[in-house]
Structure 1
Amino acid sequence: MRRDDVSDLRKRSYDDKKYTLKEALSLIKTGDHIFIGSACGEPQYLVKGLVEKADHLADNEILHVHTLGVAPYTEPRYSDRFRMNAFFVGINTRQAVAEGRADYTPVFLSQLPKLISSGMIPIDVALIQVTPPDEHGFCSLGVSVEITKTAAENAKLVIAQVNRQMPRVLGDSFIHINNIDVVVEHDEPILECPRPERDIISERIAKYVSELIDDGSTLQIGIGSIPDSILDSLVDKKDLGIHTELLTEGVVDLVEEGVVTCAKKTINRGKIIASFAMGTRRLYDFIDNNPMVEFYESDYVNNPIVISQHKKMVAINQALEVDLTGQVCADSLGYKFYSGLGGQADFIRGAMLSEGGKAITVIPSTAKEGKISRIRSLLSPGAGVVLTRGDVDYVVTEYGIAHLRGKTIRERALSLINIAHPKFRNDLLNWAKEHHYVPQEVLPFPETEYPEELKKYVTLKDGSRVLIRPIRPSDATMKQHLFYALSKESVEKRYLGSLRAFPLKRIWPYVIIDYNNEMVLVGTVQDGEKEDMIAIGSYSRIPNTNFAEVALVVRDDWQNKGLGTILFNYLCELAKKRGLNGFVAWVMIDNKRMMHIFRKSGHQIRYRVEGNLYYVEIRFK
């Protein structure tokens, strides 16, 4: 049949629509815009035939999102016949884009269906892969729905590879056989994408991210080895939901372990919602005819308004670089396009609008085997800003968590320097000082790692739960807020007299410490998304001795709950482990609470009176 008669194809029966590969591809005309099904749903048999058997073609544009399978049309020898237009740059098309033999169209996946439907991105031919039709004539697009369904609905010619190995996925994944022009039956294994091996950096990042995820949260897991590895760290969570563009095999494990139930989702309750899947046959068998799983197009799954309707929506995506102000590059390495916009911004913005939502950007602290920092003073020349300073929320490296939403440039810079690799921290700090992002009084950062292992939650007498952790440089403002929240009496007892102000320039020595000769522990509680500092306990080694001076302060409304005792005992424990023999302290004579804490500690206590002060010596047992 000639291409001119293609409008008659859809009226024919299924058997009459069956063509050989060569017959089907002969219907494609020179200059046609050809869409190819994406990711693991790529119709490999059709794509191979497009290059091998369609000798009549020239000047054809190939439109594609995620390219995982064969992509011979990107080879230089076919440049007169095909030119690739990628909406997401994958490993098989990266070189062609870098050399100018292929195009890259940066676009949010939530907007791409509309651009296709409106004709702004024309599609003449859609090469897709589907299941055999069911008894009602419906074929499922299987593992890849995102843009593929829209492309098929708007193409002038739809050629479908019918593959019995394609899983039948529920939701909005169906296309009726009446809307398919040509069928090429060919069974072959669906493309597989095994899970990447976990490494120590991914595991450390995953541990931090898991701390940010509450029971009942709904998750989006972005493309990349680190976001996927986070799933393995969630086995102790309850009633998680999934609303994500990409579905991977790690979700199957969490379903089988009873962690992912989708029972607390605000919309699509009880359902895993995605738009495409990448994994092994185990994942494809899981989604096959599974009522728990539904795939939809990207204009629904990636729609920030839809995403925001989930309470406690958590979006987790990987970045390539982050600068000290919070700008995130996720699609390019300098001037070279590495991936694409994809759905990262869609989900980040949706999560930020969600009630109790969190947007998490994960990134290893270094690249090129530790030679360069991914936390940068400025983004590399040519690097694209996928997330603006206003989009960023949490940034997580293997060295910790930086919470940037609502923070000043000073607070952002200090938070990000704190989670950079230790060997790059002071270079970043010096740059930040030079450009007045942070005050000149900020002390150099220690090259030791933040002692994350010292964090612990404690329960007070009234049942309140408090996080005890070592102080961080980014805590300067919180420490200042604590000072001004204290009563006059508490200030006098802590600082042994009247102190009217505590400017930032005096705070830096208290928040930038070595965690060995100096230790500062803070007690914090969550007030919604805000962390409040309610107590501080500290010691500082006295030079040339095995003793340290100790001090404690608890906010007035948190006193008499046992928090001071907990802080003191923990400081004693840490000091003994670091080789100290005891503490000394200056205490006002009327500070009976502090003396009570010392006496009931069980350590040997000596003291003498000097004026209106006790000089206390505490020897550890």
Structure 2
Amino acid sequence: MTKQDWTEKYSKKVLTARKAIRKIRRGTRIFLGTGCGVPYHLVQELANHADQMADNEIVHLLTLGDTPSADPQFQTQFRHNSFFISENMREAVTEGRADYTPIMLSDIPRLFRSGKMPVDVAMIQVSPPDEHGYCSLGISVDITKSGAESADIVIAQVNERMPITLGDSFMNVRDIDYLVPFTEPLREFQAAEVDETIDLIGSYVARLIENESTLELGIGALPQAVCNNLMESGVRDLGIHTEMFSDSLIPLIEEGVVTCKKKTLHRGKVIASFAMGSEKLYDYVHDNPLFEFRPSEYVNDPYIIGENNKMVAINSALEVDLTGQVCADSIGHKFYSGIGGQVDFIRGASRSPDGKAIICMQSTAMNGKISRIVPRLSEGAGVVTTRGDVDIIITEFGLASLHGKTIRERVLSLIAIAHPKFRNELLEAAKAMKYVHEDQVPFLSQGTYFASEYETQETFKGPDGPITVHFRLIRPDDTDRIKELFYDLSEESIFFRFLTPLRSLRRQTLQEFYNVDQDRDISIVAVIKPDEEEEAERIIGAGRYLLNRSTNEAEFALLVQDEYQGRGVGTFLLNHLMRIAKSKGVEAFVAYVHPRNQPMIRFLHKTGKIIESRLSMADEEYVFKLNL
């Protein structure tokens, strides 16, 4: 239908912006469409008629760019109330000239429909009506649809540049009171550049994403980094169920990484509620049957989200305390952003079979001056994701899996991914709060415990068939897993490893496993990851070497659970340690073995790397030197 056709057909509803704004009475609540779908022509005209307004509340989820009605000069005419504080609203909220309503995104439509927050006027932006009178809300369905459906008066800017998006995204002209024809470019959103730190965080997220996962992505530098890393990870048949997305999604679709073919809900469809990006993105979603835009009360419903298998929710935080409480909407008393859909998707992903709920943040703020992982949240900081909901926290130093973990385990996991210069300061604070043992050893590593160059995997013949064993650096939060390994060992294995018949594992001995700097001294564990039979990650072997700086030779020791001995795990672990040591310039390995430990002696001879061996009668041990 041409512009002339629809303007003639609905001529009784067609007004100029000036005349439409005059329909708004003083003291009314005005709902404003979201993000790049904000009807800017109407917004500008509203500001132009500020002298006719008084005590008008403007309610919205997220706005971009110039918002003149938020200027101090209009304080008596307009007061903004934001569900999510964007950059252009931050100053007004901080100065008390605007309000912030903290609420989960999925709950906002009910706020409108129940009458708790009645909407007098909705100002929205739509595509031109089709021959049946239906206009598309385009890139902004979210809470815009419920806001418009709940309003007494609906004023729609009809923009020929608004793409027609499919799904539950249409309004009929009969439900719109005034149509304002005005075509202008849609606002575009450009994410911040992906720097090295953000890219590293994105790489850790990508490691957790399996084939056939369904993702919540969002917008900004972090989702871009995740998408960049997914392009290189080799995963396939990903699905999308997200409140919003941007241009970063397009390459994943075009390269066949995102197909939505394996989704368990809305198979073959990208499900979202709004989009923010470039004109290219808006052209891409126009009349594209791959995309279905639906309202927030559906997209953000945790029960709906949880129906997607392998749902991966990716969100961000400003601060996390050592118990796992996540602050995402304020910096102390100062409100910074909002709750948004974080809790909706965290809880939805936790209900999903094999789902993961991920919170990402850089380890420091203020140019590295302060840690974002803190002993306790800043005064005034609000908890968005509770310690009961939290699952995985990621920084550029790795990831901490917190769900179902004790406070002690959480503390060690979170300190391990804090910036190295703050780790022992955090440890001392944790000791003062009795979160960890007083004799907990300091963190020696000055880097990451998740270095990919030390990680590998191999398949072995297990007790009940083939098993895949992962090899990685040991971490301080492996304490309980090492303890489980110890108590699964036979008395003979314990004696030969510790050269004494231990009945229990002292904490000091336990800490020696991971009390290494992971640079000159290296400690590696062999891990079986969770599957349908394994409920938790399990360590079945451990190996380490300690460098003698004066000789440039390293003493090494291995430990493999009895049922996995003789299956090649120990050989692979030793070779892995040797490769690492050789890359660091270590000249040789040295092993001290009890004379009765014949299995270990045979094992060392089978390596073919022994260059020297001798029996020390004084110490009752064999000394073997191995070439790397």
Q: How big is each residue's C-alpha offset from its partner over 1:190-229, in whole Å with a ceiling of 9 and x where there is no partner?
A: 1100232110001100111111111100000135422332
Shift of 1:541: 2.8
Shift of 1:265: 0.8
1:54-69 → structure 2 map (5 Å cutoff): 54-69=50-65
- SS of 1:513 mapped into structure 2: coil
Q: Are 1:372 and 2:354 an aligned pair? A: no
1:247-396 → structure 2 map (5 Å cutoff): 247-396=245-394
Q: How big is each residue's C-alpha offset from its partner over 1:44-96, in whole Å with a ceiling of 9 and x where there is no partner?
A: 00000001035311110100110113311111110110011111111111111
CA contact (8 A) 2:219 2:246 kept: no
1:391-406 → structure 2 map (5 Å cutoff): 391-406=389-404
- SS of 2:537 mapped into structure 1: strand
AA matched with 2:186: I
Shift of 1:619: 3.5
- SS of 2:510 mapped into structure 1: helix
- SS of 1:493 mapped into structure 2: helix
Residue from 592, 605, 609 that aligns with 2:598: 592
How far, CA to CA, are the matches of 2:344 and 2:433 in structure 1? 32
Residue from 485, 488, 491 that aligns with 2:491: 488
- SS of 1:458 mapped into structure 2: strand
Structure-2 residue corresponding to 1:8 = none
Q: Are 1:525 and 2:528 an aligned pair? A: yes
Residue from 169, 172, 180 that aligns with 2:165: 169
CA contact (8 A) 1:63 1:85 kept: yes
Q: How big is each residue's C-alpha offset from its partner over 1:501-553, in whole Å with a ceiling of 9 and x where there is no partner?
A: 00333312221211234221100011236211110011223463333322111
Q: Are 1:228 and 2:215 an aligned pair? A: no
AA matched with 2:587: N
Q: How big is each residue's C-alpha offset from its partner over 1:216-267, in whole Å with a ceiling of 9 and x where there is no partner?
A: 0000013542233211111221100000001211111100000001111111
Q: Are 1:459 and 2:459 an aligned pair? A: yes
Q: How big is each residue's C-alpha offset from its partner over 1:98-131, in whole Å with a ceiling of 9 and x where there is no partner?
A: 1111111001010110110011011000000000
AA matched with 1:617: F
AA matched with 2:270: I
CA contact (8 A) 1:326 1:389 kept: yes
Q: Are 1:198 and 2:205 an aligned pair? A: no
Moved more, 342-351 or 564-573: 564-573
How far, CA to CA, are the matches of 1:542 and 1:552 in structure 2? 18
- SS of 1:110 mapped into structure 2: helix
Q: How big is each residue's C-alpha offset from its partner over 1:310-356, in whole Å with a ceiling of 9 and x where there is no partner?
A: 11000000100011110000001111111001000000011011110
- SS of 1:226 mapped into structure 2: helix
How far, CA to CA, are the matches of 2:586 and 2:257 in structure 1? 45
Q: How big is each residue's C-alpha offset from its partner over 1:559-611, in whole Å with a ceiling of 9 and x where there is no partner?
A: 22211001111222223333433233232344333223322323234334457
- SS of 1:596 mapped into structure 2: helix
Structure-2 residue corresponding to 1:5 = none
1:15-30 → structure 2 map (5 Å cutoff): 15-30=11-26
How far, CA to CA, are the matches of 1:149 and 1:291 in structure 2? 20
- SS of 2:124 mapped into structure 1: strand
Structure-1 residue corresponding to 2:5 = none
How far, CA to CA, are the matches of 1:158 and 1:473 in structure 2? 58
Residue from 415, 419, 430 that aligns with 2:428: 430
Shift of 1:447: 4.9
CA contact (8 A) 2:70 2:79 kept: yes
Structure-1 residue corresponding to 2:3 = none
Structure-1 residue corresponding to 2:472 = 469
Shift of 1:287: 0.9
How far, CA to CA, are the matches of 1:121 and 1:266 in structure 2? 35
Moved more, 399-408 or 515-524: 515-524
Residue from 231, 236, 239 that aligns with 1:238: 236
Moved more, 356-365 or 493-502: 493-502
How far, CA to CA, are the matches of 1:320 and 1:424 in structure 2? 17
Q: How big is each residue's C-alpha offset from its partner over 1:20-65, in whole Å with a ceiling of 9 and x where there is no partner?
A: 1111111100111100111010000000000103531111010011
How far, CA to CA, are the matches of 1:561 and 1:480 in structure 2? 22
CA contact (8 A) 1:576 1:620 kept: no
AA matched with 2:455: K
AA matched with 2:15: Y
CA contact (8 A) 1:599 1:605 kept: no
Q: How big is each residue's C-alpha offset from its partner over 1:267-305, in whole Å with a ceiling of 9 and x where there is no partner?
A: 111100000001001111111111110011111000001
CA contact (8 A) 1:598 1:605 kept: no
- % identical equivalent positions: 50
How far, CA to CA, are the matches of 1:241 and 1:344 in structure 2? 19
Structure-2 residue corresponding to 1:602 = 608
Structure-1 residue corresponding to 2:542 = 536
Residue from 159, 164, 173 that aligns with 2:155: 159
Q: Are 1:575 and 2:581 an aligned pair? A: yes
Q: Any unmatched runs of 5+ in structure 2?
A: 1-7
CA contact (8 A) 2:203 2:225 kept: no
AA matched with 1:615: Y
Structure-2 residue corresponding to 1:410 = 408
Structure-1 residue corresponding to 2:4 = none
Structure-2 residue corresponding to 1:6 = none
CA contact (8 A) 2:347 2:389 kept: yes
Structure-2 residue corresponding to 1:618 = 625
- SS of 2:608 mapped into structure 1: coil
Structure-2 residue corresponding to 1:214 = 210
How far, CA to CA, are the matches of 2:31 and 2:224 in structure 1? 28
Q: Any unmatched runs of 5+ in structure 1?
A: 1-11
CA contact (8 A) 1:441 1:508 kept: no
- SS of 1:460 mapped into structure 2: strand
Q: Are 1:565 and 2:571 an aligned pair? A: yes
CA contact (8 A) 1:583 1:618 kept: yes
AA matched with 1:619: L
Structure-2 residue corresponding to 1:114 = 110
- SS of 1:114 mapped into structure 2: helix
CA contact (8 A) 1:480 1:504 kept: no
Report how many residues are paired: 610
CA contact (8 A) 2:206 2:226 kept: yes
Specify whether residues 54 and 497 from structure 1 end up closer, same or farther in structure 2 by C-alpha distance, changes over 3 A only. Answer: closer
How far, CA to CA, are the matches of 2:428 and 2:572 in structure 1? 37
Q: How big is each residue's C-alpha offset from its partner over 1:109-168, in whole Å with a ceiling of 9 and x where there is no partner?
A: 101101100110110000000000011110000000011001111111100000000000
Moved runs in structure 1, 4+ residues, more than 6 A? none
How far, CA to CA, are the matches of 2:575 and 2:273 in structure 1? 52
How far, CA to CA, are the matches of 1:479 and 1:98 in structure 2? 49
CA contact (8 A) 1:519 1:538 kept: yes
Moved more, 579-588 or 556-565: 579-588
How far, CA to CA, are the matches of 1:149 and 1:171 in structure 2? 12
CA contact (8 A) 1:331 1:341 kept: yes
CA contact (8 A) 1:205 1:397 kept: yes
Specify whether residues 581 and 54 from structure 1 end up closer, same or farther in structure 2 by C-alpha distance, changes over 3 A only. Answer: closer
